Amino acid sequence: MMRRKNSNKHFTRMGTRKKVHAFVRVRPTDDFAHEMIRYGDDNKTINIHLKRDTQRGVVNNQQTDWSFRLDGVLHDASQDLVYETVAKDVVSQALNGYNGTIMCYGQTGAGKTYTMTGATENYKHRGILPRALQQVFRMIEERPTHAITVRVSYLEIYNESLFDLLSTLPYVGPSVTPMTIVENPQGVFVKGLSVHLTSQEEDAFSLLFEGETNRIIASHTMNKNSSRSHSIFTIYVEAHSRTLSDEKYITSKINLVDLAGSERLGKSGSEGRVLKEATYINKSLSFLEQAIIALGDQKRDHIPFRQCKLTHALKDSLGGNCNMVLVTNIYGEATQLEETLSSLRFASRMKLVTTEPAINEKYDAERMVKNLEKELALLKQELAIHDSLANRTHVNYDPMDEIQIAEINSQVRRYLAGTLDEIDVINLRQIQEVFNQFRVVLSQQEQEVESSLRRKYTLIDKNDFATISAVQKRLASIQAGLVDADGHLVGEPDGQGFGFGVASLTTKAGKKVKSKKTVKEQPRLSTPPSKSVAFEDFKNERGSEINRIFKENKSILNERRKRASETTQRINAIKKEIDITKEALHFQKSLREKQGEYENKGLMIIDEEEFQLILKLKDLKKQYRTEYQDLRDLRAEIQYCQHLVEQCRHRLLTEFDVWYNESFFIPEDVQAALKPGSSIRPGMVPVSRIVSLGEDDQDKFSQLQQMMLPEGPDSISFYNAKVKTEQKHNYLKTTMGLQQARRK
């Protein structure tokens, strides 16, 4: 099944393991070694028989017979048949997202290039390559539901150097176009290799021909034998569904590989360039074999891809998750039998390798986001409908704001303190926030414990008058009313607003005084307390009345809910009882019918038991109706109460916010107004008005503010900064003034 992963790319395993398909193609000859090469009737087996008494002096005990079973023997096969047999499926699978690799292996002159590229001057004798391009474009035409792009590249590997056969630059070699093989999460690619977008068959053909020409030119100018190089023509396919909701798209590669001649050149004492070529070829072909065999071994987790350029460049297209076909080109002549045997051995080893083809599926991130947005909108609508059907009003699913979070924090605190029995579940977001606030409260408590421990060690000796008086000076203004009976300064236990606290050495722990009354009128602190702490204060002070109503309504609501739940339970019980009674009645009835007591001319004769059941049923139904009516009334009441509670909560939180800002943040114009010489005197702008400004008022207010700034609006931030600094220093003064202003 398809899985969605975080990564952009993944393979979809189809779970079917496939073998590498290995075919043999015999080059036509008039001198075919009929006595040595025989094919099985299934046209898949090729048997080799070596004569014992050949001049080569084969030793008697040496093996003389071999039998190779492959996927097909192509003898006297047309190019057309070869394509049908070898390539057609691989190419059509590529359009479904499977990588495919077709390789021609064999001795030089055995027909690899003829098979892969074919005769470029003769259409009929064209090879796999042009036919694959044709098939790809034909399939694209047949698939109008998809937008499919085709790209091609043509790479040559010669003596472990990479050459771009489609480079637009004159072909001069690797120093000008230094290419490297690079791996990234998307796969492996050759950096610097030109990849050409081709929108039609013709373009693709031109590129192929250009590549062939370049290859020939290069073999001349660089004096290199093209049979000593590997060439890889790659067709890259990318298919996007034209259905916009389809997030997936597929990519695939078809690698058409014409390998270097497999003949063992090294053994006949080659020198210099030839030896070097031979070494490279032998190595890369044996590395290729090693890599493919390792890929087929499910127990192997390391595949030696990087040993040579050939396997490295083909890393994501060999064995593993792709369709692989090997064509082994052999000569039919007896003189070549040794190399033929070696080629056939290679083929039969490859045939044993299994692969697990998989689709290269990717996700279009942009389409995914769009689809998710759509889905989200739909789900929100669905939720709204669901809520209205379930009579759930006022349920908000938007992210919570600061006030709502503060409310939850307060609930959590009260819950922990034992003053709140339970926290009502509203929705998932709220539950998550409740847990979140548990964590917040916990960490705050930890911090408090820590800081109180620290405070313990910064005690000041009560006889150290100098220090005390200095501290007193600093605190005198803000701590008016916070002095305990002994006249000692006591640290605020909740201490959020205080940088430090001072306790008398002689004062025993626990003797700290915190009078609610004094707290009530105390000026606010220069560092405002956290909202959750302030909220508790607020509920004891200005918000006490609203809070009381809020609590009352909530307890009514809870009581009604409880009653509704009880009534529902009762109704269910009655319903059950009704069902049981009905069944019993039914049983009695059927019993009576069986006994034939029904005959007396329309007169119903029923026994006592049945009569009692009927009465009971009647009674139950009456009860049911009453309870049901009750439940309906209760539900209406609950809904109303819920509304009230919501209103109260809202009021409480809004008022709190006003109070909080008023108490801990002094609006700048009030600051200004309170300064000596200011044109606005205390009391001119009531705080409550400033804090609850409407849009229009806010506008007027900022105009007023700007008028008061002689340098114009640009200076606002400057002044704001200045005011904030002064705010710290003038805190007490302004707060006191403010309170006076409020009283007026």
Q: Which C-beta is closer to ligand ADP: that of 112 or that of 362?
A: 112
**Inter-residue contact 668 to 738 (CB < 8 Å):** no
Options 101-109, 169-177, 277-285, 393-401: segment touching ligand ADP (CB under 6 A): 101-109
Examine residue 262 and tell whether it contacts ligand ADP (CB under 6 A).
no
Q: Which C-beta is closer to ligand ADP: that of 81 or that of 365?
A: 81
> What one-character DSSP code corresponds to residue 478?
T
Judged by CB under 6 A, the residue of 2, 4, 7, 28 near ligand ADP is 28
CA nearest neighbour of 311 among 259, 261, 235, 237 = 259
Q: Which C-beta is closer to ligand ADP: that of 28 or that of 304?
A: 28
> What are the beta bridge partners of residue 73?
24
Sign of the alpha-carbon torsion through 252, 258, 260, 261? positive
Judged by CB under 6 A, the residue of 97, 106, 319, 529 near ligand ADP is 106
Nearest distance from C-beta of residue 294 to ligand ADP, angstroms: 26
Options 107-115, 308-316, 451-459, 714-722: segment touching Mg ion (CB under 5 A): 107-115
**Inter-residue contact 316 to 257 (CB < 8 Å):** no
109 assigned binding-site residue: yes
Q: Which C-beta is closer to Mg ion: that of 105 or that of 731?
A: 105
Nearest distance from C-beta of residue 256 to ligand ADP, angstroms: 13
User: Judging by DSSP bridges, how do beta strands 65-69 and 45-49 pair with one another?
Assistant: antiparallel
The residue at minimum Cβ distance from ligand ADP is: 111
Q: Which C-beta is closer to ligand ADP: that of 117 or that of 153?
A: 117
Examine residue 113 and tell whether it contacts ligand ADP (CB under 6 A).
yes
Nearest distance from C-beta of residue 103 to Mg ion, angstroms: 13
DSSP secondary structure string for all residues of 228-251 = GSEEEEEEEEEEEESSTT--EEEE
What is the rounded distance in angstroms from the CA atom of residue 54 to the CA atom of residue 167? 50
Options 28-36, 111-119, 194-202, 706-714: segment touching Mg ion (CB under 5 A): 111-119
Options 104-112, 160-168, 321-329, 450-458: segment touching Mg ion (CB under 5 A): 104-112
Examine residue 328 and tell whether it contacts ligand ADP (CB under 6 A).
no
Judged by CB under 6 A, the residue of 33, 110, 148, 162 near ligand ADP is 110
Examine residue 113 and tell whether it contacts Mg ion (CB under 5 A).
yes
111 assigned binding-site residue: yes
Other Cβ atoms closer than 10 A to 402:
10
Taking the CA of residue 375 as centre, how many other CA atoms within 13 Å lie in the half-sphere pointing to its CB? 7
**Inter-residue contact 71 to 20 (CB < 8 Å):** no
Examine residue 111 and tell whether it contacts ligand ADP (CB under 6 A).
yes
* Contacts of residue 401, Cβ cutoff 8 Å, sequence gap at least 6: none
168 assigned binding-site residue: no
The DSSP H or E segment spanning 38 is: strand 37-39
Decide which of Mg ion, ligand ADP, none touches 100; Cβ closer than 5 to 8 Å per partner kind: none
> What are the beta bridge partners of residue 48?
37, 66
**Inter-residue contact 250 to 361 (CB < 8 Å):** yes
Judged by CB under 6 A, the residue of 11, 21, 22, 27 near ligand ADP is 27
Decide which of Mg ion, ligand ADP, none touches 329; Cβ closer than 5 to 8 Å per partner kind: ligand ADP
Q: Which C-beta is closer to Mg ion: that of 157 or that of 631?
A: 157
Q: Which C-beta is closer to Mg ion: that of 27 or that of 112?
A: 112
Q: Which C-beta is closer to ligand ADP: that of 129 or that of 585?
A: 129
Window 347-376: residues binding ligand ADP (CB under 6 A): none
Examine residue 329 and tell whether it contacts ligand ADP (CB under 6 A).
yes
Tell me the CA distances in angstroms from 433 to 210, 399, 410, 420, one per residue in order.
Answer: 66, 10, 12, 17
Amino acid letter, residue 715: S
Q: Which C-beta is closer to ligand ADP: that of 21 or that of 215?
A: 215
> What one-character DSSP code corresponds to residue 266?
G
Examine residue 227 and tell whether it contacts ligand ADP (CB under 6 A).
yes
Owner of token pair 């609950």: 638
Please calculate the CA angle 560-566-570 and round it to the nearest 5 degrees.
Answer: 140
Query: What SS3 state is found at 667?
Result: coil
Nearest distance from C-beta of residue 263 to Mg ion, angstroms: 12
> What one-character DSSP code corresponds to residue 336?
G
**Inter-residue contact 167 to 177 (CB < 8 Å):** yes
Nearest distance from C-beta of residue 23 to ligand ADP, angstroms: 13
Options 112-120, 297-305, 341-349, 626-634: segment touching ligand ADP (CB under 6 A): 112-120
Nearest distance from C-beta of residue 126 to Mg ion, angstroms: 15
DSSP secondary structure string for all residues of 275-332 = HHHHHHHHHHHHHHHHHHHHHH-TT------TTSHHHHHTGGGSSTTSEEEEEEEE--
Nearest distance from C-beta of residue 229 to Mg ion, angstroms: 9
What is the rounded distance in angstroms from the CA atom of residue 431 to the CA atom of residue 423? 9
**Inter-residue contact 233 to 256 (CB < 8 Å):** yes
> Which residues bind to ligand ADP, rule: CB under 6 A?
27-28, 106, 108-114, 227, 261, 329
Binding-site residue positions:
106-113
Binding footprint of Mg ion on the chain (CB under 5 A):
112-113
Binding-site residues for ATP sit at 106-113
